[in-house]
Amino acid sequence: MGLLSVIAAAVAAWIFGAVWYGIIGKQWMAASGLTEETVNRSNPAPYIVSFLCTLLVAGMTRHVLVTSGVDTVGKGLLTGLGLGLFVAAPWIATNVMFSQRDRELIWMDGVYPTVGMALMGAVLTLL
């Protein structure tokens, strides 16, 4: 597991995010209080920052996997799934609740790190 595996894991999770939010985009926008008119799709900053953050998460996930001795795809997938479901998703739920946003955002935004980190774990142990 090296730099290339971190980049590959980040790309896999980032692409999943694009697919996921592409599928639930209209529902997510409604729950977020956004409309097609208020979303600036020509601004690259959210996409760039999102990818950089995904790189950071992939790097830390690599560290966790290596220091924990996780060395198979199944263990990597399960560890990533656990990190997403039991570390990242609860923070999202907390943020949604305190910001008094639509509670549907908890599952919408919680699926992304849960599945994304599972993919990261699998990719990191594959490469």
Distance CA 88, CA 79 (A): 13
Neighbouring C-beta atoms of residue 36, cutoff 10 Å: 9
Give tens-digit pLDDT for 15-44.
999 999 999 999 999 999 999 999 988 999
Q: pTM value? A: 0.93
The first and second tokens of residue 9, run together, are 């894991």
Angstrom CA distances, 83 to 20, 35, 36, 113, stand at: 19, 32, 33, 8
Tens-place pLDDT, residues 68-119:
999 999 999 999 999 999 999 999 999 999 999 999 999 999 999 999 999 9
SS3 65: helix
Q: Within 13 Å and on the Cβ side, how many CA atoms surround 77?
A: 5
Q: Which of 42, 50, 49 is nearest to 16 (CA)?
A: 50
Q: How far apart are CA 16 and CA 20, in angstroms?
A: 6
Q: Give, in degrees to the nearest 5, the angle at Cα 80 between 74 and 84.
A: 145
Instruction: With beta carbons less than 8 A apart as the criterion, state whether 58 and 72 touch.
Output: no
Task: Give the start-to-end residue ranges of the domains of the chain.
Answer: 3-126
